[in-house]
Amino acid sequence: MDRIQALELVRPHLTEHRYIHTLGVETAAAELAHRYGADAYKASIAAIFHDYAKFRPKEEMQEIVKQSDLPKDLLNYGTELLHAPVGALLLEREIGIKDEEILSAVYYHTTGNGSMTLLEKVIFLADYLEPNRQFPGVDEVRELSKVCLNKASLKAVQNTILFLMKQNQRIYPLTLDTYNGLQLEIKGKQ
Ligand code: DGI
Ligand code: FE
Ligand code: FE
């Protein structure tokens, strides 16, 4: 599958706004992949498909979690979390994507995890800082992303955790694992 085919496949699942975001994530992912040595093709395909399930009805996503091997604790946090793991599952089922690196980059694009691969970091960070995003703190992460992938990813997850806490939202354990994992990678086990 080339990127044009991928874009044609994802387009019907997204709004215009979300499609523009997706193109921004692809651009950002290409830059990060080039800078940090990730696979350019996988970065492009994972970016194009990362929000594939974003507009599935939440009842459908909850049903998929219940009837698959996805972790059931996903149901106890905001429904915003579901589109990432459900998206990975549906990409395999509906589009036939089998590449585990691409699927895991989609799976973890919202939360991250405690020991992220290079491609997972690239997609996690590209989603956060793509050029169409504008919110407090994003420029600092953009600057950091030119210097250190781990430090930029850490700042992004820190900002997300602080934002969620201010909104009195629950924080999914994987999001905290991401914070701890990146701290460990940056500072070592001291
Ligand atoms: O899909 P996007 O909007 O492009 O971005 P995303 O996949 O990073 O999703 C962002 C949403 O996910 C935002 O509403 C905050 C939410 N989120 C991220 N981490 C957590 C979370 N929500 C909860 N409850 N807990 C988390 O740990
Ligand atoms: Fe998303
Ligand atoms: Fe996104």
> Are 106 and 46 a contacting pair, CB within 8 Å?
yes
Output the residue whose Cα is nearest ligand 1's atom 15: 80
Res 189: pLDDT: 60
Res 188: pLDDT: 78
pLDDT in tens, 46-89: 999 999 999 999 999 999 999 999 999 999 998 999 999 999 99
Best of 15, 54, 79, 81 to mutate for ligand 1, by most ligand atoms within 8 A of CB? Answer: 81
CATH number of 3-133: 1.10.3210.10
Mean pLDDT across the chain: 97
Residues of the chain with pLDDT under 70: 189-190
Query: Domain residue spans in the chain?
Result: 3-133
Distance CA(150)–CA(14), nearest Å, equals 30
Determine phi and psi for 6, rounding to 5 degrees.
Answer: -60, -45
Kindly state the helix (H) or strand (E) to which residue 150 belongs, with its residue range.
Answer: helix 149-166
Pocket of ligand 1 (CB under 6 A): 51, 54, 77-78, 80-81, 84, 109-111, 127, 160, 164, 169-172, 175
Res 150: pLDDT: 98
| Whole-structure pTM value | 0.97
Exposure class string for 120-141: b at 16+ Cβ within 10 A, else e: bbbbbbbbbbbeeeeeebbeeb
Distance CA(160)–CA(141), nearest Å, equals 12
Res 190: pLDDT: 59
> Are 151 and 40 a contacting pair, CB within 8 Å?
no
Output the residue whose Cα is nearest ligand 1's atom 1: 51
